[in-house]
Amino acid sequence: MIDQDTLNTLLLYAVTAFGAITAALWLGMVIWTWRDIRQRSRDPLAQIAAALVVAVLGVFGLIVYIMLRPTETLAEAYERSLEEEALLQNIEEKPLCPGCGRPVKDEWQLCPYCHTKLKKPCVSCDTMLELAWNICPVCATPQVAYETAAPDPVPAPGNPSAPIDDSPAPESEAVEFVENDSY
C-alpha cells in the first residue's frame, strides 16, 4: 500500500499542478481580454475596466465582457468607412446619360452611345453649358441665339391681311433618341 507521506506528496503535486493550470488560464483570459479590447476601443479607461472585470471575476467576468464588448474591431470599422466613402465617390463622380444611363464625362456634348444631347456650347466662349442654362457663367453672355433683323412679313396669298412669317425657324434643342437593340 501507499504510505501517508507518499500520498501527501502526490496530493501536493496535484494541487500545485491544478493551481498552476488555473493561474495560467486566469492570466490567459486577462491577457486575451486586454488584447481584444485594444483592437475594439481606443479608450484607455474601457481597456483597463475590461481587463479588471476579467481579472476579478474570472470566467464570469469573461462572459460579461464578451456580452458587452463592441461588435466590430477598429480595423473593421475603418475598412467599412473606406468602403462607404468609395461607394459615395463612385455615386457622386460619375454622371450618367439621361437617354441610355451609361457613364458620360462632363466635357461631352453628346452621348457617344445613344447620341443624346448632353450640353450645349456657349455662343460666345464655347464653354460647355447645361442645356437649361440661359446665361454663360464664364463670360455672362445670354444664351439666346443672336437674331438678325427680321424682314417685313409678306401677306398670305388668300388672306392679304394675315402676314406670313417666313423667317427661319429657331433651331430646337430637342433630344434625339436613337433606337438601340443592345439592351
Q: With 50 as the cut, is the pLDDT of residue 148 above it?
A: no
Q: With 80 as the cut, is the pLDDT of residue 168 above it?
A: no
Structurally, the chain folds into a number of domains equal to 2
Q: Write down which residue in 75, 105, 135 finishes a domain.
A: 75
Query: 43: domain range?
Result: 4-75
Do residues 56 and 109 share a domain? no
Q: With 50 as the cut, is the pLDDT of residue 151 above it?
A: no
Which pLDDT value is given to residue 164? 52
Q: How confident is the model at residue 170 (pLDDT cuts 50, 70, 90)?
A: low
Which pLDDT value is given to residue 93? 66
pTM over 0.75: no
Number of neighbours of residue 66 by Cβ within 10 angstroms: 11
Q: Examine residue 36 and state whether it is found in any structural domain, yes or no.
A: yes
Higher pLDDT, 47 or 168: 47
Q: Examine residue 131 and state whether it is found in any structural domain, yes or no.
A: yes
